[in-house]
Amino acid sequence: MTVPFSYIIRNFKSRKLTTGITVLGISMVVFVFTAVLMMSFGIKKTLKSTGSADNVKIARKSANGEISSIIEGDIVNFIKTLPQVAKDSKNQAILSAEPVVIINLDIKTGGLSNITVRGVSDSYGELRKQIKLIQGRPFTFGARELIVGEAIDRKFKGAQLGSKVKIAGDYWTVVGIFSTDGTGFDSEVWGDALQLLNAFNRGNAVSTVTFKLADISKYNELKQVFKSERRLLQFEPKIEQIYYEEQSEFMSSFIKILGTVITVIFSFGAMIGAMITMYASVANRVREIGTMRALGFLRRSILTAFMTESLIIAIAGWIFGTLLSLLLTSQKVSTLNFNSFSELEFGFSLSPDIIISSLVFAVVMGIVGGFLPAVRAARLNIVSALRAN
């Protein structure tokens, strides 16, 4: 015979406090686990959305990031002539040769941090159509002016409209604030590429080159050009979206692994709590268990009933923990991007995979926490159980 489900539910009412504490413990662990996965996914989502699917970014093969990549001016000029590069109405290549440097700025709440300064060419508006100026005006090419991402404007001193930012010994004026709806560009400062090269005495050597593909179907053809052309062998073309997604791999993996290890340690406490609760339930219901066995209920039915109770507790904890994690989706946090060594603002982001992973995690806690008490209940001797006080 199968133990009625109503009997399982009724037993929760007799131990509301211990059950509630156990549910709370599991929900906290689920919350931490989900938050870690949301951070990892948020970083990846932010950087992936930074790029465009029809743009190609060129960097040196040996470079770990843009700041360690160097592309000489003659290579830039050669890339401009490739037939795969889109042209504008004036038959000019839609291409931005970009020096990328790191500077320090004071954080409003105290301390210093690195930020990325990107020099862009006059085609940047056609390349990055997601950019929207929300305050001020665009910078003037040929002048030492800057536009800053809204994340920089929010967090750092001296990066507001009209402020002066010191770059390579000279002061540049902030003339505009831009937004790209939460992409990695919101954590950057942009200015004239030629002015930035002059400020750092870099000649005509830029960090990366980004251009729009004339035809997305020609991407494989473009890769063959870089494999066969001697002058381009040191460089690698990647779809801009893929490039930035790969830049997030190390950082997101680090957060996921570290956070998972910490969460697993916390989960032992939650599983012990579930185990204590279920052992207490068995101890309080010894005579009930003996009566059910005498009425013909099988050991596996008793085992299933107690395992079901433990799983219900775990799933209740998962529901509360997941609902609590939804509050994080409106939050923005900043951290140091390990690839660029500069500040990156990102948001917590929830996905169906994260929800499923947290559910599996909660179920595992419920199974581990409830298994031994359920086995003990199933193995109780009928006669001894009926004689218990």
Residue 52 lies in a domain: no
Residues 221 and 255 in one domain: no
CB 195, CB 142: distance < 8 Å = yes
Q: Could you tell me how far CA 155 lies from the centroid of its own chain? A: 20
Mean pLDDT of 265-276: 79
Mean pLDDT of 18-41: 86
Mean pLDDT of 285-302: 71
Q: Given a cut of 80, is residue 285 above it in pLDDT?
A: no
Q: Give the whole-angstrom CA distance, residue 171 versus residue 4.
A: 77
Residues 40 and 84 in one domain: no
Residues 329 and 279 in one domain: yes
Residues 133 and 74 in one domain: yes
Determine the pLDDT at residue 10. 67
Token pair in block for residue 380: 């109780």
Mean pLDDT for the chain overall: 86
Residue 242 lies in a domain: no
Residue 277 lies in a domain: yes
Mean pLDDT of 217-223: 92
Determine the pLDDT at residue 284. 67
Mean pLDDT of 221-248: 91
Quickly state the pLDDT bin for 270 (edges 50, 70, 90). confident
Residue 222 lies in a domain: yes
User: What is the per-residue pLDDT across 150-197, written as a single tens digit (0 to 9) for each?
Assistant: 999 999 998 999 999 999 889 999 999 999 988 889 999 999 999 999
Determine the pLDDT at residue 287. 72
Residues 330 and 199 in one domain: no
Percent of the chain with pLDDT over 90: 43
Residues 31 and 68 in one domain: no
Considering only 7-11, 199-203, 225-229, which range has the smallest mean pLDDT? 7-11
Residue 223 lies in a domain: yes
Residues 208 and 127 in one domain: yes
Range of the domain at 218: 62-233
Range of 14-18, 44-48, 276-280, 379-383 with top mean pLDDT? 44-48
Higher-confidence residue of 386 and 125: namely: 125
Phi, psi of 139 (to 5 degrees): -70, 155
Residue that terminates a domain, selected from 202, 233, 264? 233
Q: Given a cut of 60, is residue 1 above it in pLDDT?
A: no
CB atoms within 10 A of CB 179: 18
Residues 27 and 79 in one domain: no
Mean pLDDT of 90-113: 91
Q: Given a cut of 90, is residue 269 above it in pLDDT?
A: no
Quickly state the pLDDT bin for 302 (edges 50, 70, 90). confident
Residue 161 lies in a domain: yes
Residues 80 and 157 in one domain: yes
Residue that terminates a domain, selected from 233, 258, 288? 233
The runs of H, that is alpha helices, within the chain are 5-13, 16-50, 73-80, 124-127, 150-155, 193-199, 219-228, 240-247, 249-284, 286-294, 299-325, 352-379, 382-387
CB atoms within 10 A of CB 61: 10
Quickly state the pLDDT bin for 331 (edges 50, 70, 90). confident
Residues 227 and 275 in one domain: no
Residues 272 and 212 in one domain: no
Residues 164 and 271 in one domain: no
Residue 116 lies in a domain: yes
Mean pLDDT of 258-272: 81
3-class SS of residue 239: strand
Residue 258 lies in a domain: yes
Among residues 50, 56, 52, 55, the alpha carbon closest in space to that of 226 is found at 56
Amino acid at residue number 90: K
Percent of the chain with pLDDT over 70: 90
Quickly state the pLDDT bin for 373 (edges 50, 70, 90). confident
User: What is the per-residue pLDDT across 2-17, written as a single tens digit (0 to 9) for each?
Assistant: 555 566 666 666 667 7
Determine the pLDDT at residue 16. 73
Determine the pLDDT at residue 3. 58
Considering only 72-76, 343-347, 359-363, which range has the smallest mean pLDDT? 343-347
Residue that terminates a domain, selected from 198, 233, 268? 233
Number of domains the chain contains: 2
3-class SS of residue 147: strand
End-to-end alpha carbon distance in the chain: 26
Q: Give the whole-angstrom CA distance, residue 10 versus residue 286.
A: 16
